[in-house]
Amino acid sequence: MTQARNYLAIDLGAESGRTIVGSLDDKQLTLTETHRFANGPVRLNDGLHWDVLRLWSDIKEGIGRSKEIESIGLDTWAIDFALLDKNNSLLSNPFHYRDARTDGMIDEAFKRLPRAEIFSNTGIQFMQINTLYQLLAMSIQRSPLFDVAKTFVTIPDLFNYWLSGELTNEFTNATTTQCFDPRKRDWATPVLDAMEIPAHLFKPVTDPGTRIGTLLPSLAEETGAGAVPIILPACHDTGSAVVAVPAKNQDFAWLSSGTWSIMGAEVHEPSLSAKALEYNFTNEGGVFGTWRLSKNIMGLWLVQECRREWMRQGEEMSFDALTQLAAESEAFMSVVDPDVGEFIHPGDMPYRIQKFCADTNQRVPQTKGQIVRVVLESIALKYRLVLERLEELTGKRFDPLHIIGGGTKNKLLNQFAADSTGRTVVAGPVEATAIGNILMQSIGMKHLGSLVDAREVVRASFEPEIYEPNRKADWDEAYARLQKVMK
């Protein structure tokens, strides 16, 4: 019997953050949550921001509550960033990717560089929230920050600097920015130059699994953690989550389910084909030479925003209660495209969903249950579309579909996913991001040997839930309606 080793995962999502200690003992991993805290946007006069200083306070509190840890790894959402001055001080509070400053920026980018050329240089799907378009908005507005900034860091790079004093641009997060060339494994200078974004801000990238230093002495004393090593996991949360897919072979499709749904496959070379461009797929860096060929789907954001709007109206309901109302509501009343631009920004989501249905000459859902049912069915139908295109791009048929992340708690959506795609769904683990983070730390500390070893730990430690498909003709009819409203 070996002594258990404890690793601390700092896992920051778009809705909440948490610190989780993973104890690894004889290839059995157990998790203990030591701190959980809210995350979300803060609106100021100039737009929508993240409250990174409050997050930093919660990170330190989580470290202080976590005892006898051997290392620390941090992951966050992708795309957002900070700029540092010559003293490596934060120049301004980072913007939130749902801020409206990126409205119209994709069209502006195409005036400077054709769509196909941007894709060939970056391999990233076109979404207005991407880092590239946030930076382009700054360029067009002649932001004075560009005059004094010396270093670009993504959000996990910022926190890793505050933890360790070491400046890095971690690979998996860098690849999501649409500013990085996957073939050269370096920043896409031609794209940056075309957008008049200062290329000197972007520093060399560091691979996941790298030990970058130790907890700064002042933090070691403040938190009581000591000089703990800081390890880069896959700092992009989806990158860490895919590490924790309990697949037995390499030919699997995965779906990270949460605020965003992201569906993809693990591949060994980026796909930069004309079809990948046409289907707007993305190539994001993974661990140990892998790439995530994938596509974002709006996901449970729509339900979260509906719930927030109903709460603003004084009607408090849990997600479980809303899901139960959806299960009891009429099937296939209407369909929406979860990824239309109207659904990106915070606001009155129930009204926007109803308006979409009215504008596309469909029945308009009225009750909370009807609205949530339309959303969940539509997300599952979009899963089918993306899976079919993923299989076309890879030339493979994927069965089962592995669903990981917090969204696996929504059993109704899991069953809809199986029914819509016609594939067996293997759901779990729920805390895939934290698990992948912890296992990458263990590899970085040389306590585990490989990605194969890490996935063996997942299979030995967490029991998945299985959902068998029960596709009926009405799913096919609804799928045809989705394709029609997407045109």
Active site residues per annotation: 237
Cα end-to-end span (Å), the chain? 60
Whether residue 103 contacts residue 47, with contact meaning beta carbons closer than 8 Å, is answered with no
Whether residue 418 contacts residue 442, with contact meaning beta carbons closer than 8 Å, is answered with no
- Amino acid identity, position 30: T
Whether residue 212 contacts residue 167, with contact meaning beta carbons closer than 8 Å, is answered with no
Torsion of CA 103, 105, 108, 109, to 10 degrees: -160
Q: Which residues, other chains included, contact 251 with Cβ-Cβ below 8 Å and sequence gap of 6+?
A: 265, 396, 398
**Which runs of consecutive H residues, i.e. helices, occur in 183-271?**
189-194, 217-223, 237-243
Tokens representing 91 are 């120049």
Nearest to 41 by CA among 49, 32, 31, 52: 49
Please tell me the distance from the alpha carbon of residue 271 to that of residue 267, in angstroms, as a whole number: 9
Please tell me whether residue 245 adopts helix, strand or coil conformation.
coil
Tokens representing 472 are 């009926």
Nearest to 302 by CA among 413, 428, 424: 413
Please tell me the distance from the alpha carbon of residue 162 to that of residue 156, in angstroms, as a whole number: 10
Please tell me whether residue 379 adopts helix, strand or coil conformation.
helix
Please tell me the distance from the alpha carbon of residue 254 to that of residue 262, in angstroms, as a whole number: 8
